Structures are given as C-alpha cells and as structure tokens.
C-alpha cells in the first residue's frame, strides 16, 4: 500500500526539517523518498492520500520510560479498584476491545490511549527477567504501539557476584545472555545495591560507596561495571539508571556522584527530577532544587542523557522496582502498600500517591521537573516523561507541552502552587519557551536516538511509517491532546480521537552476541538457586506473537571491543 | 438475574412522564433493557417522591447518588441501596441487601427489616466508607458494617455480625442487639455504642471508666424522633467505656451500656 501524506508542515528534527511544507510517502509501512515508478517510468499513484494542508506533521511519539506491562503494573491494577471505579471506561466497539483507565489503564486501553495521543512506541522501564513472560503476554494485548522493556540488572545476584569477583567478561556474557533470554531491550539499574540490602532485611544504601552486604561490592562498582558491559556489548541503548536515594532531600550529591562515577561512559539517567533535591533528610525546611548544578554537569558531559519524570498534580500510583522507596512512600503517605521480592533478581514497591499543588514538597517536585526541561540546553539530551504513572499519567504530556511552550501559562500555574516554591527553585526566572521543533525533539526524535532506534522518531527514508498529524492551535495542550491523524506503519489508525483500525505493533528487543563458554557457570549458579529450571527460563519465540524487531548492536563498538580483547 | 437500576432515584426521574420513566435503560445481567419491562409505572415524579412496590431484592443500586427527595420501597431492596447518596430519604419496609449506603455522604436510609453485610462501608480499595448521613436498620445485619467509616451514624436494632466498625476512622455506630467477633478492630477514632450484650473485646481495647455520656441521650432522642423502634426503651444508668484500638491510633471508644452506677472499680474483661 502506498500512502501519501500531502502538504503538511513537517517537523522532523533527525533530518533537520523544521516546519517545511512537504509530502511524506509511505510504502508498505516504511517511509520512501517518493512514489515508486512503474515499468514505463511513470510514478505510481498513491492508494490513499491524506491531505494535511495547514497541519503539523511529526513522527509518531516515542515514550522511553513508562510502566505499562508486567507484574508490578498488574499488581497496581489489582491493588487499586477504587482508582478504576470512577475512571472513564473504554467501551468496546466493533474493532476495539473494552478496557479501564485510571492511573494504570488496562492493556488494551493502554494501547488505544497512547495511539490517541499520537504515540506509536513505548517502553516499560522495569521488568524482572523472571517475569518477562508476563510482560510479553501483556504486550500481546497492548494494541497499536511498538513496545519493548528494560530488564532489571542492578540487584541481580549473579551480577553482584561477578562484580565482587572482578569478572567483567563473565558479567558481559551474563548481561547478553539474560537480555536475550528475557527478550528485553536494555539494561536497567534501579537503586543499584539498595534493593538487595532492603531484601536482606536491611534498610537501604545511602551512598555510592556503601557496601552491599554479602556481596562485598558498592553501588559505584555496580554502576560502572554494568555501564562498561553495556558499552562493550554495543547495545543500542546505554545503561538506564535509576539512581540511589530517589526522592530523598540531599540526593543531588548521589546523582552527581553517579554521573562522575561513569567517567565518560555513556548512560541514561532516568526520572532525573526525583534525583535533584537539596536539603537535610529530616528537615523539610531545607528542601530545595539543585537542578542548576546537576544540569550544568549534564550540559558539559555529552555521554549523559536524561528523561525528566515530571510530576503533575492529581491522583496517581507510584510503582517502582525500588523496594525501600515503596516502603518510604508508604510511611510518608500512610497509604496502602505492596512490597514484592523476585528471588535472585529484583524488588518492587507500589503505593497510591496524590500530588497536591498546595503541598510544598509536591509543588517543588513539579517545579524541579520543569527546571530540567528548561535548563538542559540541548533538547537532544532530555526526553519527555512522567515516569508514567509515577509522576503522573502519560496522558499529561500535552499539559507539559503547554507548560514548556507558553511561559505565561507556566507563570500562572506557578502562582497557584505553594508559594515557597518561588524561593526554593529558579523556575520563576526561566523564560525559555520551547518551539514546536524542540517539542518534536524531546517527544520523539531524542528518545528514539537515545534508545538507539534507527527506524523510529524520524520520517527519513527507511523509517517506520509512524506519523502523527496535529491541527495547529495556540492552545498547545488542546493541539497535542487530540491529534487529527495517527498513522502507524503506513496505516491510518486514529482520526480525531476515534480508532479507525486495530493494529498490533511489534516487540522491540536485542540479541547481543556472547561467549557461549560462559553458559555452564551461569547454569550451575542458576540451578543451585532458582525456583525454576534453567531450560524453562528463556522466553521462546511464541511470546513474540505480533512479530519482533531486533535492533542491532553497534558493530563498531563490538569490533573495537574485540580489538581490545585481542590486545589484552 | 439481578437488575441494575440506579435510575430509580428522584434526581434521575424528576420531570419525566411515566412513559419516559419506563424507557429508562437498566442492566439486566449484561444486557440493557427498558425499566418498563420489569415495572408497571404510573404517576409522575416531579414531587421527588418515588414509591417502589414488590420484591426488589434483586434490584441493585436504587437511590444511588441521590441528592434529595424520598424513595419508599414497599418490599425488599437489593444490594447497593443508596450507595454514595448525598441527601434525601430512603425507606424500606422489607429487608435490604449488602452495601446499604456504602460511601454515603448525607441523607437517611431507614430499613424496617434486615440488611446484609458492609452497611455504610467503604468499597473495596477505598480509604473511606460512609462520610455522613444516617443509616437505621431495625433488624439484623451482617459483617463489617461501617468498615472504614469516616462520619455519620449507623444504628442497628437486631443482631450484628462480625467486625462492626472495622477500621473505623470516625463517626458513630449504635448496636442494640448481640454483636459478633472483634467489634471496632483497628479503629482510629469514633464511637461504637453497645446496648445489648457485650462480646469479648480485643485485647487492644482498655477499660477507661464508667460514666453516662451526655450525647447518648441526645442521640437516643433523635433516633426516637426518626421512629427507630429499638431506641424507644429507656437506657438508664452508666456505660462502660473502653479505649481503642491500641494497635491503631487508639482514640476511639466502645461504650457498653451496663445500667449500673459509676461507683466502684469496674471488672476488667
């Protein structure tokens, strides 16, 4: 099928196109330069033309950090019937399935809501590999979007053992094997070392050099060890780090320390908003923003990218692989709490949370998120996220766009929130406004580039035919809330909020190469400790029932690694 | 097969003709059918008064979210009667099902017969049950009435099941019959007044004193004014007061009517 998206004003930052009127041609789901020609050299007529005169055309949105599938998301759904009871219901239609919304929508609803918002790709940010099957099963029922997940590594016992034993080759092989076994996409660290300490009955780790009991290694060693392993494997996405001490006053020191510990290795620091606080741990009066200092470091160190984890006011559900954080939130809010322990691999905490604009802490968190967008000079290094649903739902992205593009609106909201925020952050002094081009960067081009997805986030030749068309409107929230058209793989899926066709996106995963000689050791350890058989552990192909796109690892890094290995 | 008829509410029917009321859609299982298939409808509802006749023990959600007016049910009522109601009066001459007045905020529900479990309770997952209003049940009730209740009054004339006032946040529950296990477990604040026999209390309730609280007489007088039969008799003398639940905030109380005088030290349970 040949589709022509005609005469739209195109914003395609990866290809440097900033608001040019042009046609986009999509043939069999992929962008092509123009219509192919027939035998006589005449260009073929398109099977379908969508007239986008006067409209804004962007690549489909890419959400690089959300929680949309897997055991913790499902536990949150089960734990919060009250969140579902009053929320809008997604009704069944002849082509779509029914579902529930609230802060944690059901699987089908998740797909429809993302598509309705103009997003065509999303990643779940924290899956314990033992539960990878569950995540893939939910992906099977998440329509339209392409999706993948990050695998939890930062508290995995085998990882900790290899770091303790100073066995980087074995660690690298394990990372590659486990990613392939889970059919995951990237390496995620959640409070490295801290979750393990919590699971052992301890409290947490509080700094980068505090030892992890029984494993004799430190968060710093876990971070650098895994960052190096990921770099050596040439994975498309660098190590994805949820730093230690999330949410605690004074944690900016840890965050900055983490960046410094990387010593130039590539890394993505996620929901950085939650990691930029100054103040004493027991003294709310000293709680304040430290974004300028940390953002300065990011500005001057191109090896680091961030996503924000913006907080928005309202009711939501906090869900995290950071077990001790879940307990902390439960104690602070007094609300119900789920704690879970995935044997050798990970932890989990789920707590409902209500962000209030009259609360000093919540309002400051809101301001700190916006500071991040406005203080990172290069939009290619900061991705939009709410850490859905932790800071708010992904449905709040249009609100963030409005806050970034319209400083008058931003100042108005700032006037309504807790007044102490004015003195504890620099938000009131920031008058930067995002352009549409920059919005296109932080919502699709930059996340796709950070994730190393060559076929996403742009409309150049060979890219996936994922396109979102917006009706221009000075009210940016209204504009981004209701795209005029959403096209997925060259098919018109959404028209003005109505789903026109149901399509199932593909799963994005990686299959890095590794030395099979490392397997016997992994198997020996596995069979001594796990509750399931080694042979039953890897996820098989049948779980990728809607198809998979295997994103290649970077050959140059791999060859340079081989060279390095040869030299040593 | 139950019927889900939240349209049987003065707010929903006001200004409608009998024919329009008959055309209101209700769920019968998973199918939507007009109300008129199940009820013969006459009169008009402009005065905010609705009379429902017959055995409606499988008709759910009557009076849900109503804000004003009056519903008289001459027969039994099904589950979720007056759920989340904010005002008005519902009177049931027969029995009612589970979840009577769950999470209600105002108004009054008076059931002459029995009611099921979870009267005035919080729905699953919610933090707060009933937040205001009055529920009067003259007969027996089931378990967990007033669960996580925050404000308002529940009075029960007959026997009560287990866990009345579990996770009580605040408010009042008056029980005139026998009471099952573990009343007011995990209560933070609130008053559970027992006018019948006192069951064994949890060890996390402590005897405080014997006295005659002034508010009891005001409440009894009001209950009589509403025509609540079990409160017609006099309850002279003292109440034994227990503080609890000490595993929680411990600012609640269980008052047990002993009829005795305050002189002398009470026997601890």
Please calculate the CA angle A112-A118-A119 and round it to the nearest 5 degrees.
Answer: 75
* B207 interface with A at CB cutoff 8 Å: no
Instruction: Report yes or no: B265 at the A interface, CB cutoff 8 Å.
Output: no
Residue B123 touches chain A, beta carbons under 8 Å: yes
- From chain A, the residues in CB contact with B123 under 8 A are 81-82, 85
Measure in Å the smallest separation between the Cα of B23 and chain A Cα atoms: 22
What are the backbone dihedrals phi and psi of residue A298, each rounded to the nearest 5 degrees, phi first? -60, -40
In the predicted structure, residue B145 carries a pLDDT above the cut 70: yes
Q: Say yes or no for a CB contact (<8 Å) between B127 and A335.
A: yes
Distance from CA of B129 to the nearest CA of A (A): 12
Interface test with chain A among B125, B128, B167, by most A beta carbons within 10 Å: B125
Torsion over CA: A532, A533, A536, A539 (sign): positive
The bridge status of strand A485-488 relative to strand A467-470 is antiparallel
pLDDT in tens, A138-190: 999 999 999 999 999 999 999 999 999 999 999 999 999 999 999 999 999 99
- B123/A85 touch (CB, cutoff 8 Å), yes or no: yes
pLDDT single digits (tens) B82-138: 999 999 999 999 999 999 999 999 999 999 999 999 999 999 999 999 999 999 999
Number of helices (H), then strands (E), in chain B: 3, 15
pLDDT for the residue numbered A556: 59
pLDDT score, position B262: 56
Give the tens place of pLDDT for each residue, A258-273: 999 999 999 999 999 9
d(CA A500, CA A495) in angstroms, rounded, equals 7
Q: Between the CA of residue A232 and those of A155, A476, A562, what are the distances in Å?
A: 20, 42, 9
3-state helix, strand, coil in chain A (%, to 5): 40, 25, 35
Least confident among A7-16, A279-288, A337-346, B103-112: A279-288
Encoding tokens for residue B45? 């509802």
Tell me which residue range forms the domain holding A334.
314-355
- Asked if the structure places residue A252 within a domain, the reply is no
pLDDT tens string A242-253: 999 999 999 999
Burial class of A349 by CB neighbour count within 10 A (0 to 12, 13 to 18, 19+): buried
Q: What backbone torsions phi and psi does residue A85 show, to the nearest 5 degrees?
A: -60, -40
pLDDT at residue A567 in the model: 38
Q: Which of A379, A434, A425, A362 is nearest to A403 (CA)?
A: A434
- A260, part of any domain: no
Cα(A338)–Cα(A319) distance, rounded to whole angstroms? 9
Q: Which residues pair with B253 in a beta bridge?
A: B191, B243
Q: Rounded distance, CA A137 to CA A128, Å?
A: 14
pLDDT value at position A285?
77
As a whole number, mean pLDDT of residues A36-54 equals: 94
CB-based contact A335 B125, cutoff 8 Å:
no
Share of chain A above pLDDT 70, in %: 97
Is residue A118's pLDDT more than 70? yes
User: DSSP strand E in A442-567: where?
Assistant: 467-470, 485-488, 491-495, 498-499, 507-509, 548-550
* Beta carbons of B123 and A82 less than 8 Å apart: yes
Whether residue A81 and residue B127 make contact (CB cut-off 8 A), yes or no, is no
Res B44 pLDDT > 90: no
* Cα–Cα distance for residue pair A312/A103, rounded to 1 Å: 12
pLDDT in tens, A319-347: 999 999 999 999 999 999 999 999 999 99
Q: Minimal Cα–Cα distance from B230 to chain A, Å?
A: 35
Measure A351 CA to nearest chain B CA, in Å.
12
Look at residue A555 in the predicted model and tell me its pLDDT: 59
Q: Do B124 and A79 touch (CB under 8 A)?
A: no
- The contacts found for B154-163 with CB under 8 angstroms, 24 or more apart, are B154/B119, B154/B120, B154/B130, B155/B223, B155/B228, B155/B230, B155/B231, B156/B119, B157/B228, B157/B229, B157/B230, B158/B114, B158/B230, B161/B117
pLDDT value of residue A566: 40
- pLDDT tens for residues A539-564? 999 999 999 999 999 755 544 444 44
- Report pLDDT for B46: 86
**pLDDT (tens digit, 9 = 90+) per residue, B182-204?**
999 999 999 999 999 999 999 99
Residues of A with CB under 8 A from a CB of B: 79-83, 85, 335
Is residue A332 in a domain? yes
Indicate the pairing of strand B25-28 with strand B70-74. unpaired
Residue A340 domain flag? yes
Per CB-CB distance under 8 Å, the chain B contacts of A80 are: 125
Contact A384, A397 (CB under 8 A): yes
Q: Count how many pairs of residues, chain A against chain B, have C-beta atoms within 8 Å.
A: 14
Using the Cβ of B127 and the Cβ atoms of chain A, whether some distance falls under 8 Å is answered with yes
Counting Cβ atoms within 10 Å, is residue A218 exposed (0-12), middle (13-18) or buried (19+)? buried
Does residue B32 sit at the A interface (CB-CB below 8 Å)? no
Q: Are A396 and A453 in contact (CB under 8 A)?
A: no
Mutate to test the interface with B, among A84, A85, A333, A335 (most CBs of B within 10 A): A85
CA distance readout (Å), A18 to A22, A99, A397, A438: 11, 38, 21, 9
> Does some domain include residue A273?
no
Q: For CA atoms A72, A268, A477, A108, give the dihedral sign.
A: negative
Mean pLDDT in residue range A515-543? 95
Six token digits for residue A80: 């919060």
Rounded mean pLDDT, B168-173: 97
Contact A498, A93 (CB under 8 A): no
Six token digits for residue A461: 């030749």
Query: What is the percent of chain A where pLDDT is above 90?
Result: 95
Confirm whether pTM is higher than 0.90.
yes
Kindly state whether residue A520 falls inside one of the protein's structural domains.
no
In angstroms, the Cα distances linking B85 to A292, B102, B111, B133 are: 51, 8, 15, 9
* Whether B31 contacts chain A with CB within 8 A: no
Per-residue confidence (pLDDT) for residue A281, from 0 to 100 = 67
Q: At what angle do helices A219-233 and A168-182 cross, to 10 degrees?
A: 70
Residue B249 Cα, gap to closest chain A Cα (Å) = 12
Count up the domains in chain A and report the number: 1
pLDDT tens figures, B54-74: 999 999 999 999 999 999 999
How many whole angstroms separate alpha carbon B121 and alpha carbon B141?
13
Cα separation of A60 and A459, whole Å? 9
pLDDT of residue B266: 47
Compute the half-sphere exposure of residue A380: CA atoms within 13 Å on the CB side of its CA. 9
Q: What are phi and psi of B240, to 5 degrees?
A: -95, 130
The pLDDT mean for chain B works out to 94
Per-residue pLDDT for B20 more than 80?
yes
**Does residue A316 contact residue A355 with C-beta atoms inside 8 Å?**
yes
Tens digits of residue pLDDT in A486-513:
999 999 999 999 999 989 999 999 999 9
Phi, psi of A319 (to 5 degrees): -140, 135
Name the residue of chain A whose CA is nearest to B129's CA: A82
- Alpha carbon distances (Å) from A532 to A52, A72, A492, A523, A538: 54, 20, 44, 12, 11
How many angstroms separate the CA atoms of A207 and A218, rounded? 9
Cβ pair A79:B123 closer than 8 A: no
Encode pLDDT of A192-210 as tens digits.
Answer: 999 999 999 999 999 999 9
pLDDT single digits (tens) A126-139: 999 999 999 999 99
Contact A81 B123 (CB under 8 A): yes
**Which pLDDT value is given to residue B260?**
76
């Amino acid at each position: 099928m040949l589709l022509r998206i005609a005469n739209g004003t195109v914003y395609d930052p990866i290809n440097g196109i900033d608001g040019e009127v042009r046609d986009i041609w999509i043939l069999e789901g992929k962008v092509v330069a123009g219509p192919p020609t027939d035998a006589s050299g005449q260009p073929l007529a398109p099977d379908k033309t969508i007239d986008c005169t006067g409209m804004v055309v962007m690549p489909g949105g890419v959400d690089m950090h959300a929680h949309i599938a897997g055991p913790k998301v499902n536990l949150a759904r089960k734990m919060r019937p009250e969140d579902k009871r009053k929320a809008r219901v997604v009704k069944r239609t002849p082509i779509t399935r029914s579902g529930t919304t609230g802060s944690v929508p059901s699987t089908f609803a998740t797909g429809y809501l993302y598509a309705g918002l103009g997003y065509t790709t999303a990643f779940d940010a924290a899956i314990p590999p033992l539960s990878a099957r569950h995540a893939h099963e939910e992906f099977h029922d998440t329509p339209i979007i392409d999706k993948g997940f990050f695998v939890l590594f930062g508290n995995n016992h085998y990882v900790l053992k290899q770091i303790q034993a100073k066995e980087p080759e074995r660690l690298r092989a394990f990372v590659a094997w486990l990613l392939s076994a889970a059919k995951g996409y990237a390496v995620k660290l959640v409070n490295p070392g801290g979750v393990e300490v919590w699971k052992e009955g301890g409290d947490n780790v509080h700094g980068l050099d505090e030892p992890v009991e029984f494993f004799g290694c430190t968060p710093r060693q876990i971070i650098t060890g895994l960052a190096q392993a990921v770099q050596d494997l040439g994975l498309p996405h660098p190590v994805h780090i949820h730093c230690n001490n999330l949410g605690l006053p004074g944690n900016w020191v840890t965050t900055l320390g983490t960046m410094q510990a990387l010593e130039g290795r590539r890394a993505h620091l996620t929901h950085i908003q939650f990691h930029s606080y100054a103040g004493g741990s027991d003294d709310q009066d000293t709680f304040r923003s430290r974004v300028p200092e940390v953002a300065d470091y990011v500005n001057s160190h191109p090896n680091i990218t961030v996503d924000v984890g913006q907080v928005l006011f309202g009711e939501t559900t906090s869900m995290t692989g950071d077990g001790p954080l879940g307990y902390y939130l439960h104690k602070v809010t007094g609300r119900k709490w789920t704690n879970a322990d995935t044997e050798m691999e990970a932890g989990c905490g789920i707590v409902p949370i209500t962000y209030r604009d009259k609360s000093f802490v919540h309002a400051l968190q809101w301001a700190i998120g916006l500071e991040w967008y406005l203080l990172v000079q290069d939009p290619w290094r900061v991705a939009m996220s709410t850490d859905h649903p932790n800071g708010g739902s992904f449905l709040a992205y249009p609100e963030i766009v409005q806050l970034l593009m319209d400083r008058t609106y931003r100042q108005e909201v700032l006037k309504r929130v807790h007044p102490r925020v004015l003195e504890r952050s620099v938000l009131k002094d920031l008058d930067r406004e995002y352009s549409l081009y920059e919005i296109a960067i932080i919502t699709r081009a930059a996340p796709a580039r950070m994730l190393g997805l060559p076929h996403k986030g742009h409309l150049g030749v060979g890219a996936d035919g994922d396109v979102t068309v917006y009706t221009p409107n000075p009210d940016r929230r209204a504009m981004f809330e209701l795209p005029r058209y959403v096209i997925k793989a060259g098919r018109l899926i959404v028209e003005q909020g109505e789903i026109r066709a149901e399509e199932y996106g593909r799963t994005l995963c990686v299959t890095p190469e590794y030395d099979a000689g490392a397997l016997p050791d992994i198997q020996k350890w596995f069979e001594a400790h796990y509750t399931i058989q080694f042979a039953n552990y890897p996820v098989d192909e049948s779980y990728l029932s809607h198809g998979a796109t295997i994103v290649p690892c970077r050959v140059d890094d791999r060859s340079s690694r081989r060279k390095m290995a040869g030299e040593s | 097969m139950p019927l889900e008829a939240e349209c049987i509410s003065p707010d929903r029917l006001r200004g409608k003709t009998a024919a329009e009321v008959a055309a209101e859609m209700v769920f019968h299982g998973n199918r939507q059918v007009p109300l008129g298939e199940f009820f013969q409808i006459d009169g008009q509802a402009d005065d905010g008064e609705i009379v429902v006749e017959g055995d409606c023990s499988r008709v759910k959600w009557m009076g849900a979210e109503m804000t004003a007016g009056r519903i008289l049910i001459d027969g039994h009522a099904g589950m979720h009667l007056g759920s989340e109601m904010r005002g008005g009066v519902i009177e049931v001459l027969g029995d009612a099902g589970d979840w009577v007045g769950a999470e209600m905020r105002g108004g009054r529900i008076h059931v002459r017969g029995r009611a099921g479990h979870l009267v005035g309770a919080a729905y699953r997952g919610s933090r707060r049950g009933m937040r205001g209003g009055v529920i009067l049940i003259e007969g027996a009730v089931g378990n967990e009435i007033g669960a996580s209740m925050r404000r308002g009054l529940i009075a029960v004339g007959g026997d009560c099941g287990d866990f009345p006032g579990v996770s009580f946040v605040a408010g009042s529950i008056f029980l005139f019959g026998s009471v099952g296990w573990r009343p007011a477990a995990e209560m933070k604040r609130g008053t559970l007044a027992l006018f019948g026999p006192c069951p064994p209390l949890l060890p996390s309730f402590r005897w405080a004193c014997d006295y005659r609280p002034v508010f009891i007489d005001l409440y009894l007088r009001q209950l009589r004014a509403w025509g609540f039969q079990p409160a017609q008799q006099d309850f002279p003398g003292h109440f034994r007061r227990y503080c609890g639940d000490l595993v929680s905030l411990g600012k609640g109380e269980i008052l047990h009517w002993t009829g005795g005088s305050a002189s002398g030290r009470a026997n601890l349970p």
